[in-house]
Amino acid sequence: MQVNGQPHPFTPGLTLHALLRELDIAPERVAIAVGDDFYPGGQAPDRELAEGDVVEIVRAIGGG
Amino acid sequence: MNPTDPLTIAGKTFSSRLMLGTGKYHDFTVMKAALEASGTQIVTVAIRRVELKAPGHDGLLDALDLDRYQLLPNTAGCRTAEEAVRVAKLARAATGVDWLKLEVIPDPKYLLPDPIGTLQAAEILVGEGFTVLPYVQPDAVLARALERVGCATVMPLASPIGSGRGLRTSELIRTVLDGAAVPIVVDAGLGVPSDAAQALELGADAVLVNTAIAEARDPVAMARAFALGVEAGRLGYLAGRMAERESASPSSPVAGVVRLPDPEAVDG
């Protein structure tokens, strides 16, 4: 699977919440995409991930 | 602080005609003080991947008073319509707002927007319920097409992003303004407050400024100066400028001027 453009080791049974814990990311104030599903971080379901999933985890930063 | 007429975008009314970016500030304290001094009510933010190796970070959204500012997330960095649509959806999920400054920019040197990709993305995003404010070159034909697909504003550039070169496109912006059905926001390249005044004098409805304030020696003072420039420009536009003339026209009456006798006309 890919997380933020990088290959990420996949383990069967891995869920989205487990991935966030593994990456030490607090879900508040981030947004997450799994494929074409988009979630505010705080409302992301603890869905099971698949080996081919493309995951994006983003936040708002300063910009014009 | 804002005695001019209000600005309405997508049914929301604002007393300030100055939008501010939040990039390039030295720290959040200076940024917040500059936002305050500018009187702005609309602020842009960018969307970026969280650093996986160093997740601890300062939260911009925690630093901003979200009751006070209309957030305007952008799609800066997107090179295609597809990337912009994806980032737009992430932006909405990250901020909870559906306003979007749409940027589709394939060219890294001049950061010029792709008109075709921008129009394609705008149409998709309007259909997905976004309030779309597209960043474009000042092209009146494109501007009308963006209006037709439902964009809330059109944001033509003054000069390249971050260049501080000022309003180099005024003749083209004039053609975008002529007959515009949505607010026209001059974005990018403004360097000094008089550039903002000039844009508003032309009839632009608002301007967006980032680098000129963030990179000023005193960003807070420059934010206030831009607010005054915008206010002066808008009042000047509403007041209606005089007609230009080819030659001089005396301001003082020509009758009754005190003159010495013309030596050639005096009898000897």
What is the interface pTM, i.e. ipTM, of the complex?
0.95
Torsion angles phi and psi, residue B48, rounded to 5: -135, 155
Q: What is the CA A10 to chain-centroid distance, rounded?
A: 13
- Asked whether residue A22 is assigned to any structural domain, the reply reads yes
Tally of domains within chain A: 1
Chain A residue numbers with beta carbons less than 8 Å from the beta carbon of B44 are 63-64
The span from the CA of A60 to the CA of B49, in Å, is 9
Instruction: Note whether residue A56 is domain-resident.
Output: no
Output the CA torsion A37→A41→A45→A49 (10° steps): 60
Q: Which of A8, A3, A16, A34 is nearest to B90 (CA)?
A: A34
pLDDT at B139 over 50: yes
A23, part of any domain: yes
pLDDT on residue B1: 47
Return mean pLDDT, chain B: 94
Of all residues in chain B, the one with the smallest CA distance to A39 is B93
Q: Is B198 on the interface with A (CB under 8 A)?
A: no
Where does the pLDDT of residue B55 fall: very low under 50, low under 70, confident under 90, or very high at 90 and above?
low
Residue whose C-alpha is closest to residue B211's, from A18, A60, A63, A42: A63
Q: Which of B22, B49, B50 sits opposite A62 (nearest CB)?
A: B22
The answer to the question of residue A30 being in a domain is yes
Whether the CB of B30 is below 8 Å from some CB of chain A: the reply is no
Nearest by Cα to B59 from A64, A28, A16, A55: A28
Please tell me if residue A23 touches chain B, with a CB cutoff of 8 Å: yes
Please tell me the CATH code under which domain B7-265 is placed: 3.20.20.70
Check CB contact of A16 with chain B, cutoff 8 Å.
Answer: no
Residue A32 lies inside a defined structural domain of this protein: yes
Q: How far apart are CA B113 and CA B38, in angstroms?
A: 27
pLDDT reported for residue B34:
97
Question: Containing domain of residue A41, as a range?
Answer: 2-46
End-to-end CA distance of chain A: 32
Q: Comparing B108 with B180, which gets the higher pLDDT?
A: B180
Residues B88-112: what's their mean pLDDT? 95
Closest CA of chain B from A37, distance in Å: 9
Q: Could you tell me if residue A35 is inside a domain?
A: yes
The answer to whether residue A25 is domain-embedded is: yes
* B256 pLDDT above the threshold of 70: yes
Residue B60: which of A31, A33, A62 has the nearest Cβ? A62
Which residues in A lie closer than 8 A to residue B162 (C-beta atoms)?
Answer: 64
Give the model's confidence band at B52: pLDDT under 50 very low, under 70 low, under 90 confident, else very high. Answer: confident
Q: What percent of chain B has pLDDT over 70?
A: 96
pLDDT digits (tens, 9 = 90+) for A5-57: 999 999 999 999 999 999 999 898 899 999 999 999 999 999 999 999 999 99
* Overall average pLDDT of the B182-205 stretch: 98
Instruction: Say if the Cβ atoms of A4 and B161 lie within 8 Å.
Output: no
A3 near B CB under 8 A: yes
